[in-house]
Structures are given as structure tokens and as C-alpha cells.
Amino acid sequence: MPLRSNFMDPGSSFFDLLRQSRSDLLPQMQIKLEGLSQAETRELKESPHGTTILALKYRDGAIIAGDRRATEGFQISSRRIEKVFKADDHSAIAIAGVAGPCIEMAKLFEVELTHYEKLEGMTLSLEGKANKLSQMVKANLPMAMQGLVVIPIFVGYDVKGGKGKIFKYDVTGGRYEETDYYATGSGGKDARSTMKRLYRAGLTEEEAIAVGLEALIDAAEEDVGTGGPDFVRGVFPTVKLAVMTGLQDVPEARIREVCQAIIDRRREVERGA
């Protein structure tokens, strides 16, 4: 008679396997608030935070972008943090919230998708990937209730449907598909206002990149937690494209050129005024 296991079969999910056999390795389990003093808890909650991220659709797919600043309380803890990560060949994830758990969740999500593909011999559908991420965000809810929030945006190219898609999430793991654009983080509201003004259906790649970067620049002007393009240090937002041929990084030189054009245009407007 075969022995019965105390665990449910995790199937093709690496995340479920970790949760059942090594829960201490999960991002949300590496931070324990029990037994901490009030001052220690406050210090933990003031750990580095990633701020503004956004995504928008365009004619050939979708773009996802984020600024590079991380804040720690009222201080800048990093000017070069990465908030946009490759998930697989056709999708990417951007993270806003407490930097440590955010980065770990993004990396774990990439492993989750790779693990599934190796075991099943096929990739998940874009909807399936979005659902997997929803489960991971939901598992972080206990930490989110303590203030250690992780909020992602997920974008990908739906090869079967022939279009880019954007998914946003709430702290409970709720997953919602956006039809045009979305932004979140401390400067998310300002970025959404800019995209609302500039967005239109059928944007070209060049136009979509310009709208995304202009939204991040506007957010940086209004929100202290969002970093704009830094021409002195050579630090610029991260931008990725999810298209039919796969996920692509927008070169830094191209991002710098678009940011410079936006700033030059604004200077001309101010001079004309």
C-alpha cells in the first residue's frame, strides 16, 4: 500500500512546492514582525521602497516602465534600483512597494514560469501567468497588512490573440485587466493623469515610449519619491517592450534621447510663455 503524503501535490507550481516544503524561503516568510519592538517595527516599515511604475498598450504590443529611485523614509536610499524585470520571453513584471520583498517576488515569479515550462513542456497562457502572480500577491497579504506592501503590474504579449495586455493587482491578490494604460506607486496618480491626456489608441512604438517617459517625468516633478531622468549621473528610467517577437529592452541611449527631447520641448514652451 503506498504511503499517503501529508502534503497536497504541488503539481507544476514551484511557488506551491516552496510553500509546502520550505516556506521559510518565501519572500514574505523572511520578514518576521513577531517579537520586534515598536521602534524596530517602524524601522522595518521604513525600509527602501520602490515607487512609480506604469504600462500602456500600443499598436504592436505593450510597454512597461519604471523610474529608478528608492526611498527610505524621507531619504533617497538608491538612485539606480531596478523595478522592471523579465518574467519570460513574452512578459515582464514591474514592482512598487517595499524593495526587498518586491525584488524577491519578481525573481520567484520568473522561476515559477520557468519551472512550469520545464515540467509541462509548454508555456502558460498569458492569463495563466497573470493568475499565478495573483496567487503570489495574495500569499503576501499578511505582510501587506503590516505595511510591507508589494504591488505589481504585469504585461505580456498574447501570441494567440495578437496583442499586448496589461494586468494590475491589489494587495489581496485581486487581478484586473486594463484596456489601455495604468500606473501605480507614489507617483502613480500623476503618471495616470499624463497618460490620460496623451494616450490614444494605435500609438506607434516611438509615440508609446514618449508617452510613458513623459508620464514618469511629470510624476517626478510632483512626487518626491519618483526619480526623473538624471543626466549628470546617467540614470534613466527602465523601459521594456512586450511584442510578437519577444520581450525587448529599450536601449538607454534611446531613452536618454527621448527624455532630452521632452525637456527641450518644455524649455521652448516656457521661453515662449
Residues with a known catalytic role: 51
| CB-based contact 14:115 (threshold 8 Å) | yes
| CB-based contact 54:195 (threshold 8 Å) | yes
Q: Is 140 exposed, middle or buried (0-12, 13-18, 19+ CB in 10 A)?
A: buried
Q: Which residues pair with 168 in a beta bridge?
A: 153, 176
| CB-based contact 215:70 (threshold 8 Å) | no
Measured CA to CA, the distance from residue 178 to residue 204 in angstroms comes to 19
Cell reading at 23: 516556506
Q: Which residues pair with 258 in a beta bridge?
A: none
Cell reading at 245: 517577437
Phi, psi of 33 (to 5 degrees): -90, -15
| CB-based contact 64:108 (threshold 8 Å) | no
Does an H or E element contain 175, and which? strand 175-178
Does an H or E element contain 129, and which? helix 126-139
